[in-house]
Amino acid sequence: MTDKDYGNLYWRLESSCPLRCVMCSSDHLIRTIKGYENTLLDQAKEIGFKTIVFTGGEPTLREGLPYLLRQAGLKGFMTRLDTNGVYLNGTQVALIKPYLTMLGLPLHGSTAEAHDLVVGKKGHFNAIKCIADSSTRRGLSLKITTAVTKENISDVKNIADYLNHSIHPEIYGVNALVKRNCNPQAYQKLKIEEEEFENLKEELLSQNYPFKLSFCFGHKDSDMAYIFVNPDFTISVTAGDSEHIIGDLKNERLEKILSKVKINHELHMRRFEETNI
Ligand code: SF4
């Protein structure tokens, strides 16, 4: 591990989103700017990033998404699309599949009732199952992620069992709520304690599921480890209870921007290894 190693670069293509998940902190208002896409990919490649994680808001809202995925693939990146799936169907999955290494989908409950309540959209649980089936049929790897809250922590083992029997992901990401990613009222109401998370982790690890498990609990697993490109091409890093904008790709090179802060490369690469196939 060197201080030059880079794994995942999270590119928020759009901040808007059709869902209103109970824990979401995004105001969905950052304006999308275009014109620096290839600059970003070229500079990320020069520095040595390995995976571009296309995220949001909701990244499928971005016009020309297949082109961006293709560009990233042609430049030698692995690619993951983290989407809530609202705008995806089988035809679109087939269209983007050649350019994707992995599709990331959320699942916050083991039943339609439990999951749909979290995302505020009836029928979303079933939609996720359809997209997952369609992806698996086409040989696309899946990462499913649960945001663990006070309200669903007792259901997470059921979600993992459901994934094991019905979805068959490559990776199951189990993430505790982090203050910086949550609206303040929801965080106070829904946050879980580290001990509860550790107990859950132990329980899941003891099940020997066929998929890889990835766990993320707050600051200790994320501070100075996640690097984001925002829809306006500002660059931010996760630190403490907020995210810090450290530069703007429209005016500076990515390497120079990242040299202004002390990225925790060991944690950054550990998170990369745990969340990639
Ligand atoms: S958590 Fe993600 S899917 Fe849910 S409202 Fe926020 S941006 Fe949309």
| Per-residue pLDDT tens digits for 224-237 | 999 999 999 999 99
Inter-residue contact 235 to 247 (CB < 8 Å): yes
pLDDT score of 1: 58
For the Cβ of 31 lying below 6 angstroms from any atom of ligand 1, the answer is: no
Distance 255 CA to ligand 1 centre (A): 29
Predicted confidence (pLDDT) at residue 134 exceeds the cutoff of 90: yes
Angle between helices 37-47 and 65-74 in degrees, nearest 10:
30
Distances (CA, A) of 230 to 2, 57, 104, 207, 277: 26, 10, 19, 38, 25
Predicted confidence (pLDDT) at residue 26 exceeds the cutoff of 80: no
* CATH of 8-274 among 3.50.50.60, 3.20.20.70, 3.30.450.20, 3.40.50.2300: 3.20.20.70
What average pLDDT does this structure show over 16-32?
87
Distance 28 CA to ligand 1 centre (A): 9
pLDDT score of 2: 63
Distances (CA, A) of 63 to 39, 81, 101, 206: 18, 14, 20, 43
| Per-residue pLDDT tens digits for 158-171 | 999 999 999 999 99
Ligand 1 pocket mutation, candidates 58, 144, 149, 181, criterion most atoms within 8 A of CB: 58
Minimum mean pLDDT range among 1-5, 90-94, 154-158? 1-5
- The Cα 159–Cα 194 span in angstroms is 20
Bond prior to 57 in cis (omega within 30° of 0): yes
Q: Whose CA is nearest to atom 4 of ligand 1?
A: 21
Predicted confidence (pLDDT) at residue 47 exceeds the cutoff of 90: yes
pLDDT score of 90: 86
pTM across the whole model: 0.96
Domain boundaries, the chain: 8-274
Q: Whose CA is nearest to atom 6 of ligand 1?
A: 24
Distance 20 CA to ligand 1 centre (A): 6
